[in-house]
């Protein structure tokens, strides 16, 4: 009985081995195992690799430069936007109040500096000049009185006390005249260098505060980074956006053309070059192919990001990223579509 079972097992194993030899494995060939096949009789396929369809630009995640609550979304999915166009706004009412305050402070400091540079008012200068003229007149009068009494005092016709009083009046008038002259010079003098430097520093600091407030306000406005089409809007009015969140506000891409990003196995990198013709196909478009030209070859190897789902496809090998520009006939292909990219000779 045991011998019979053993013979049956050997027979089954032999049948499986024969089927494997006749029909071969059922896995899809990778870029390193594909053989050249004719292409409409005009060329052969050198290798094939997996790829994904992209727009004329990569898909760009658009977010704000600060955390906040969405106040408004100004675009919708499928809408074309222009570079710099406002697509969303955050609620930043607390920041909106800082800008008028900073502007008012700056204007006040600018006027103070202008007042400093202009100096005293004309009325103050006229008053100082009049005061100097009055003090000069008083000095002239007291000096004349002193000179007259001095002669009388020398002749012994007046008392020494009267003469001393006249001299005191003259000295007081001279001191008052000197004080009036110094006051007039001070009124007419320009600002000190350190006063001008301080005024300039105050104005510059106020201007910087305005710029800072404007920059904070600008962070609340979300603008389109490129001219393209809105692919998807992730957040709505009232929802919160955070810089650390993995979810952007929306995504955009340039859909004026189509590119394919292919990943060539490290064993086949010598078989690709710039200007090389490619042909792409997809199970979703059975029987149709789209042509293109290699426009960019990455300068360094990387890890796979396009997985074929084939168990025989090893994901631990390095790949070289190739970008090919497709013809206009491929513009209807959806972004992200997984395709097979065939490279010609």
User: Quick one: 248 and 198 in the same domain?
Assistant: no
Conformational region of residue 303, where left means phi above 0, alpha means psi within -120 to 50, and beta covers everything else: beta
Contact 221, 249 (CB under 8 A): no
**Per-residue pLDDT, 39:** 46
Alpha carbon distance 82, 230 (integer Å): 10
Q: Which domain holds residue 207?
A: 100-215
Is 18 a residue whose pLDDT tops 80?
A: no
DSSP notation for 133-151: HHHHHHHHHHHHHHHHHHH
Contact 342, 280 (CB under 8 A): yes
**Per-residue pLDDT, 19:** 46
User: Quick one: 201 and 304 in the same domain?
Assistant: no
Task: List CB contacts of 24: < 8 A, sequence separation 6 or more.
Answer: none
User: Quick one: 210 and 107 in the same domain?
Assistant: yes
Instruction: Read off the pLDDT of each residue in 334-341 and give the average, rounded to a whole number.
Output: 92
Torsion sign (Cα): 235, 238, 243, 246 = negative
Q: pLDDT tens for residues 189-214?
A: 888 899 899 999 999 999 999 998 88
Is 37 a residue whose pLDDT tops 50?
A: no
Contact 69, 94 (CB under 8 A): no
Is 304 a residue whose pLDDT tops 90?
A: no
pTM flag (> 0.75): no
**Residue 15, domain member (yes or no):** no
Place 57 in a pLDDT band, splitting at 50, 70 and 90: confident
Total domain count, the chain:
3
Place 131 in a pLDDT band, splitting at 50, 70 and 90: very high
**Per-residue pLDDT, 306:** 66
Give the domain CATH number at 85: 2.40.50.100
Kindly report the length of the chain.
345
Q: pLDDT tens for residues 242-259?
A: 988 888 999 999 999 999
Give the domain CATH number at 52: 2.40.30.170
Contact 135, 180 (CB under 8 A): yes
Provide the Cα torsion 16, 18, 21, 25; round to 10°. Answer: -20
Is 185 a residue whose pLDDT tops 90?
A: no
């Amino acid at each position: 009985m045991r011998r019979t079972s053993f013979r049956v097992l050997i027979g089954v194993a032999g049948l499986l081995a024969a089927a494997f030899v006749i029909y071969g494995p059922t896995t899809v060939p990778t870029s390193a195992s594909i053989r050249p096949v004719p292409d409409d009789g005009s060329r052969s396929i050198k290798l094939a690799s997996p790829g994904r369809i992209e727009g004329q630009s990569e898909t760009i995640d658009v977010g704000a430069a600060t955390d906040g609550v969405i106040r408004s979304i100004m675009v919708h999915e499928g809408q074309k936007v222009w570079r710099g166009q406002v697509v969303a706004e955050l609620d930043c009412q607390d920041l909106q109040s800082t800008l008028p305050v900073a502007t008012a402070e700056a204007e006040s400091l600018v006027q103070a500096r202008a007042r400093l540079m202009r100096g005293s008012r004309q009325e103050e200068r006229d008053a100082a000049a009049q005061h100097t003229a009055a003090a000069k007149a008083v000095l002239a009068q007291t000096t004349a009185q002193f000179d007259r009494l001095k002669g009388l005092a020398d002749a012994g016709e007046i008392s020494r006390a009267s003469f001393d009083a006249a001299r005191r009046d003259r000295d007081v008038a001279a001191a008052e005249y000197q004080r009036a002259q110094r006051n007039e010079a001070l009124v007419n003098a320009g600002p000190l260098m350190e006063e001008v430097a301080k005024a300039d520093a105050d104005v510059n600091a106020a201007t910087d505060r305005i710029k800072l407030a404007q920059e904070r306000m600008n962070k609340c406005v979300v603008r389109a980074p490129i001219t393209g089409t809105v692919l998807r809007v992730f957040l709505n009015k009232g929802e919160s956006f955070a810089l650390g969140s993995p979810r952007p506000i929306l995504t955009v891409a340039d859909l004026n053309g189509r590119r394919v990003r292919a990943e060539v196995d490290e064993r086949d990198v010598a078989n690709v070059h710039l200007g090389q013709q490619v042909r792409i196909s997809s199970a979703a478009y059975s029987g149709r192919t789209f042509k293109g030209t290699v426009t960019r070859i990455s300068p360094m190897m990387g890890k796979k990001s396009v997985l074929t789902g084939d168990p025989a496809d090893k994901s631990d090998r390095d790949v070289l990223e190739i970008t090919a520009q497709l013809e206009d006939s491929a513009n209807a292909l959806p972004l992200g579509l997984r395709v097979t990219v065939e490279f010609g000779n």
